[in-house]
Structure 1
Amino acid sequence: MSKLGTLGARLHRGEIGYDFVGKRKIWYGLSILITITAILGLTVGGLNMGIEFRGGAVFTTEKTSVSVDQAETYAEEASGHDAIVQKLGSGGLRIQIAGIDTGKSDEIKNVLAKDLNVDPEKIAADLVGPSWGEDIANKAWQGLVIFMILVVIYLAIAFEWRMAVAALVALIHDITITVGIYALVGFEVTSGTVIGLLTILGYSLYDTVVVFDSLKEQTKDITKQTRWTYSDVADRSINGTLVRSINTTVVALLPVAALLFIGGGVLGAGMLNDISLSLFVGLAAGAYSSIFIATPLVADLKEREPQMKALRKRVLAKRAQAAAQGESVEEPVVEEEFDDDEDATPAVVGPRNQPASRNRGRGRPSGKRR
């Protein structure tokens, strides 16, 4: 078995673990810091909205020897507006001019063809009216709000309202960070960006629901025992699904990174930049929020319940009594290096089944009687 597979099995059985919930204030503080930075980026720089939302025209040319900077100058002189020019993998140019009157597109195209020394018939023009762009923006916001409402309703029914609230906070956290990164780096917000945002919300929700499902299963009769608090079992749920979350996130990030750094950076494909950045940042933020934000927040909310307060009091009293009598106290979570040392002392994270006997069958070849 590989080291990662062995690690995942040991985490799932509770033999090793990390105290995610106990250190939740660190994760909250880090998320608040990142979120504030993202909001400042939005406030100061704002979003670079594409023509889908502002209206304008996009001209795509055939292969030309004119540089991007020179083409940008030609486009601004021809239109009287700021222009964004991108080099395409085919050697052509993608010239985007926002805020122009679509009725002047033919005139601008002819001027560009002359300046770039290309055939006007070989320049493709895509026009977007400002009213259509505004309608697209409104539809995008409506879709996002409807998605959030459906998520809260589903999680409240399938699990409970506290988990629904925690998942909603995690989703808002992911969206804010992703949009803030767009504002900070100046990438253009297009319809591809909206598609990417909705996609990463699904990924983030998937990881969160996996942990919530494990937590729900392990806390069915939690008040009938006095060994573990709700936070202890929440830690087990995170640790038990940790490697799975890491694996799914890394596998999803690899092709997205190829789109962002190779497709967008090397080949210069405009739409790939828009959708791949939102996917890359959103997937990473979603994996982080599922582990470090959503479940610890659920534990915080649950620990406020009278039943869970009473349970914590009983658990701590029992541990204190055991320590006073010199008995061995099972700590719910023990931080240790995630290695494959078979002699390491196991740590228990939440309830788990103990083997019936480790000495049974020893000394017998293949379990046969002599």
Structure 2
Amino acid sequence: MFDRLYSGTGAFDIVGKRKRWYLIFGGLLLICIASISIRWFNLGIDFEGGTKIQLPAAAASGQITTERVEQVFTSTLNKEPASVQSVGTGANATIQIKSEALTVEQVRQVKAALFEQLRPQPPGGTASVAQISDSAVSGSWGGEISRQALIALGVFLVLVTIFLALYFEKWMAISALIALLHDIIVTAGVYSLIGFEVSPATVIGLLTILGFSLYDTVVVFDKVKENTRGILGLTRRTYAEAANLALNQTLMRSINTALIALLPVIGLLAVGVGLLGVGTLQDLALVQLTGMLVAILSSIYLATPMLVDFKLTEPKFKQQADRVAQRRANQARRTEAAAAANADGELDLSDDDALGAELRREKAMAVASSIPGRIPKASDARRKPAGKPSGKKRR
């Protein structure tokens, strides 16, 4: 299997099985759209507004855990907070509580309970209620971030469409944009299905995957463009086969690029969340990891197969595919006839196969070109032919 990956000889029939990929990706897309329509998103406090309470993670009795803080909050107000996160490390570590909007009395109760049960105390300071701060968060800030992100997305799509249409062609541009929209919808749908909290960092991370989604698609399309140059005048392979060969030739590169791109994101998720406990890094890494995985699959199994189907809507590519099929059918019939004649001992060596004649001509030309021609030397021009009179009379 690995030999076939590295050789890139077209052993993996990805384009030929494109109907299977359409069903898989189409089903996933429908599930994600249905989830977004029904369940919507688990919007964070920055989008819906609420209250944020922050306290030092250190105490006289030791380090305060997020689980303990959540227990105190829930037992005090009889409802769970939206999120409890540990931010920072060492002496500067803090714990942030985000919840729906609380009244002044509820905030006072929570702060008093946290102080009495946990006694947060920063290094060098004294334990007091003043060490626990609170603030009201407006949902307008998250909405502004979303509006700016949508504007950036629109500008990005317009510029990318113009570039792809000029550098490649319209069908490549359309296929790449469909794959890109698929990546955005599926990534958002995964957040809706699993219930990941959507924060401004999530929106920013979603924008960062757009370039990666197009990168691998453009690489494959460039190879498709190279393999299909002048294909309408040839009958060796169809456009679909040439595109499938391009996918195989760039498949190992796509896998390597994906691994190199995913390793830093996984490291960001593991180190940022597991060691540093930073919630913003978690939101950013989660959306990047999800989006990159979806983009890798769509660039291989969706973009190029769609390009092939769009191309085959043009009559000239259909006619070229028919010519290839006709030539192969004729060659198969002649091969069967030759085999039957050989079995009967009546092998006919006459060959009217255009392909065979063409191959022999190419072989003859290759042999002729491999024999260097003799360039006459200047001395040969002055050399007198043997056996001819010099023009002088003998005495």
TM-score bin (small chain):
0.7 to 0.9
**Compared CA separation, residues 37 and 265, structure 1 to 2 (3 A):** farther
Give the AA of the match of 1:155.
Answer: L
| Amino acid across the alignment from 1:30 | I
Structure 1 unaligned spans of 5+: 329-353, 361-370
Which of 1 and 2 has greater Rg?
2
Equivalent in the alignment of 1:49: 43
Match of 1:142 in 2: 151
Q: Which residue of 2 aligns with 1:117?
A: 119
CA shift for structure 1 position 113: 5.2
* Secondary structure in structure 1 of the residue aligned to 2:15: coil
1:58 touches 1:96 (CA, 8 Å); kept in 2? yes
The alpha-carbon distance between structure 1 residues 122 and 195, as it changes in their structure 2 partners (threshold 3 A), is same
Q: Provide the C-alpha distance between the structure 2 equivalents of 1:100 and 1:132, rounded to a whole number of angstroms.
A: 19
Q: How does 1:217-366 map to 2 (within 5 A)?
A: 217-265=226-274, 267-326=276-335
Seen in structure 2, the aligned counterparts of structure 1 residues 98 and 159 have a Cα distance that, compared at 3 Å, is farther
Moved more, 89-98 or 155-164: 89-98
Counterpart CA distance in 1 for 2:239 and 2:129 is 69
Distance 1:282 1:244 in 2: 19
How far apart, in 2, do the equivalents of 1:278 and 1:55 lie?
22
Relative distance call for 1:93 and 1:317 in structure 2 (3 A) is: same
Q: Map residues 150-169 of structure 1 onto 2, 5 A cutoff.
A: 150-169=159-178
1:300-345, CA deviations, whole angstroms, 9 ceiling, x for partnerless residues? 00011011011011111001111111179xxxxxxxxxxxxxxxxx
CA drift of 1:124 comes to 5.7
- Other structure's SS at 1:326 match: helix
Contact 2:57 2:64 in 1 (8 A): no
**Partner Cα distance (1:264, 1:324) in 2:** 65
> C-alpha offsets along residues 100-143 of structure 1, whole Å, 9 cap, x if unaligned?
58x99985885465354224454465653222332222222222
Range moving further from structure 2, 117-126 or 128-137: 117-126
2:7 aligns to what? Answer: 10
Q: Percent identity?
A: 39
Structure 2 unmatched runs, 5+: 121-127, 338-362, 371-395
Alpha-carbon deviation of 1:81?
8.1
**Structure 1 vs Structure 2 CA RMSD:** 3.2
Q: Structure 1 CA distance, aligned partners of 2:275 and 2:196? A: 16
Matches of 1:279 and 1:214 in 2, distance apart? 27
Indicate yes or no: 2:69 matched with 1:71: yes
* Counterpart residue number, 2:221: 212
Deviation at residue 36 of structure 1 after TM alignment: 2.4
CA distance in 2, matches of 1:7, 1:212: 21
What TM-score, normalized to structure 1? 0.78
Match of 1:35 in 2: 29
Select 1:61's aligned residue among 55, 72, 75: 55
CA contact (8 A) 1:79 1:108 kept: no
In 1, Cα distance between the equivalents of 2:281 and 2:140?
26
8 Å CA contact 1:171–1:201 kept in 2: the answer is yes
Report the secondary structure of 1:93's partner residue.
strand
Displacement of 1:155: 1.1
Q: CA deviation at 1:224?
A: 1.1
What CA distance in whole angstroms lies between the structure 2 residues aligned with 1:327 and 1:98? 78
Residue among 16, 21, 30 paired with 1:22: 16
Residue 231 of structure 1: how far off its partner (Å): 0.4
Query: d(CA) in 2 for partners of 1:247 and 1:127?
Result: 46
| Deviation of the 1:166 alpha carbon | 0.8
2:41, 2:52 → 1: CA distance? Answer: 19
Residues 1:262 and 1:246: Cα distance change in structure 2 (over 3 Å):
same
Output the CA distance in 2 between the equivalents of 1:126 and 1:228: 67
Give the residue type in structure 1 aligned to 2:7. Answer: R
Could you tell which deviates more after superposition, 223-232 or 135-144?
135-144
Give secondary structure in 2 for the equivalent of 1:205.
helix
State how many pairs are aligned: 326
SS of structure 2 residue aligned to 1:85: strand
Cα distance in 2 between the residues matched to 1:192 and 1:79: 30
2:98 alignment partner AA: Q
**1:90-129 equivalence runs, <5 A:** 90=89, 92-99=94-101, 110-111=111-112, 114-115=115-116, 116-118=118-120, 119-123=128-132, 128-129=137-138
C-alpha distance in structure 2 between counterparts of 1:284 and 1:83, whole Å: 28
Q: CA deviation at 1:56?
A: 3.0
